[in-house]
């Protein structure tokens, strides 16, 4: 039986990531708009963080008994087919979820890049899209807490918290900042007050604590399916980066020298380097 305090702890971690989305609205308190150069860089950093967290955190954790990464190199033991199958099914399921969400977006005929011309109906759809996308990120947080209260973690407020959960919570929180910027741009163009920018940014990520609790419950009561849970979270995040984050960054950077590719690659590199320590924990 999973203790009630565990659910509360995981919910709070998911809520922290949701609140971090509100930080994306903070720049609008001081400037009229965020430059395209910084916007592209932020999307790049978010992409690098998500890719690193998916590979070095979730996938390696799913195969942690068989793949060990250290400063000395990588050692690989024979991986059971069932483990690989569960991981593969999880990865595919994560991709399918995001693909279906993306398909719904296309069916609604909404172009999130048309921020300046967004009317109220489009704005609602944009917020809905980002809300749907936030759920898999909550799942990633919840799955990473699979070993909460068990040996091998670090003490936080008297609880034994897995290191992966700490890294994943930080990674998703940082990644949420540029999403907050993306939400605030159309709202600002419509004259929405600054504090309401923060509220709507946080609102779009509220499914994250819910997804975190549901995923945590699943992996705790069905631990034999843990590799599938890790794969699901990783597949969703990787597919999001490749089909949403990077194309969005390139669209924003169209007017920059080199179409913003330098800023995007620099941001991705910074995000990857920031999360590299995951591989050596």
Quote the CA–CA distance of 137 and 117 in Å, as a whole number: 28
| 82 HSE (CA, 13 A, CB side) | 3
| Per-residue pLDDT at 118 | 45
| 14 HSE (CA, 13 A, CB side) | 32
53-57, 103-107, 183-187, 232-236: least confidently modelled range? 103-107
| Per-residue pLDDT at 116 | 42
Whether residue 20 contacts residue 178, with contact meaning beta carbons closer than 8 Å, is answered with: no
| Per-residue pLDDT at 20 | 93
Instruction: Report pTM.
Output: 0.69
| Percentage of residues in the chain having pLDDT higher than 70 | 77
Each residue's pLDDT tens digit, 79-100: 778 888 888 998 998 888 778 7
| Per-residue pLDDT at 12 | 93
Whether residue 191 contacts residue 52, with contact meaning beta carbons closer than 8 Å, is answered with: no
Residue 270, helix vs strand vs coil? helix
* DSSP state string for 6-20: HHHHHHHHHHHHHHH
| Per-residue pLDDT at 126 | 56
Q: For the chain, what is the mean pLDDT?
A: 78
Each residue's pLDDT tens digit, 146-186: 877 665 667 776 777 888 888 888 888 887 887 788 778 76
| Per-residue pLDDT at 226 | 79
Each residue's pLDDT tens digit, 122-156: 555 555 555 666 777 888 888 888 877 665 667 77
Quote the CA–CA distance of 172 and 168 in Å, as a whole number: 6
Q: What is the DSSP letter of 35?
A: -
């Amino acid at each position: 039986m999973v203790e009630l305090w565990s659910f509360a702890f995981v919910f709070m971690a998911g809520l922290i990531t949701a609140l971090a989305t509100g930080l994306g609205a903070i720049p609008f308190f001081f400037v009229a708009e965020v430059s395209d150069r910084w916007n592209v860089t932020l999307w790049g950093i978010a992409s690098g963080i998500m890719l690193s967290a998916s590979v070095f955190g979730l996938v390696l954790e799913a195969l942690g008994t068989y793949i060990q990464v250290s400063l000395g190199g990588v050692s690989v033991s024979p991986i059971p087919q069932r483990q690989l199958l569960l991981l593969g099914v999880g990865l595919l399921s994560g991709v399918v979820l995001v693909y279906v969400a993306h398909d719904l977006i296309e069916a609604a005929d909404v172009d999130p890049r048309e921020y300046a011309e967004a009317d109220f109906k489009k704005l609602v759809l944009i917020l809905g899209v980002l809300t749907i996308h936030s759920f898999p990120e909550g799942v990633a947080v919840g799955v990473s807490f699979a070993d909460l209260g068990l040996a091998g973690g670090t003490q936080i407020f008297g609880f034994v918290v897995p290191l992966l959960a700490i890294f994943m919570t930080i990674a998703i929180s940082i990644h949420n900042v540029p999403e907050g910027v993306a939400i605030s741009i159309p709202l600002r163009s419509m004259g929405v007050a600054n504090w309401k920018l923060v509220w709507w940014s946080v609102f779009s990520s509220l499914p994250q604590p819910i997804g975190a609790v549901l995923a945590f419950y699943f992996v705790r009561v069905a631990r034999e399916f843990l590799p599938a849970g890790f794969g699901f979270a990783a597949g969703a995040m990787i597919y999001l980066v490749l089909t949403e984050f990077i194309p969005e960054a390139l669209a924003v950077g169209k007017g920059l020298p080199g179409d913003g590719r330098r800023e995007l690659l620099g941001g991705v590199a910074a995000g990857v380097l920031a999360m590299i320590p995951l591989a050596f924990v």
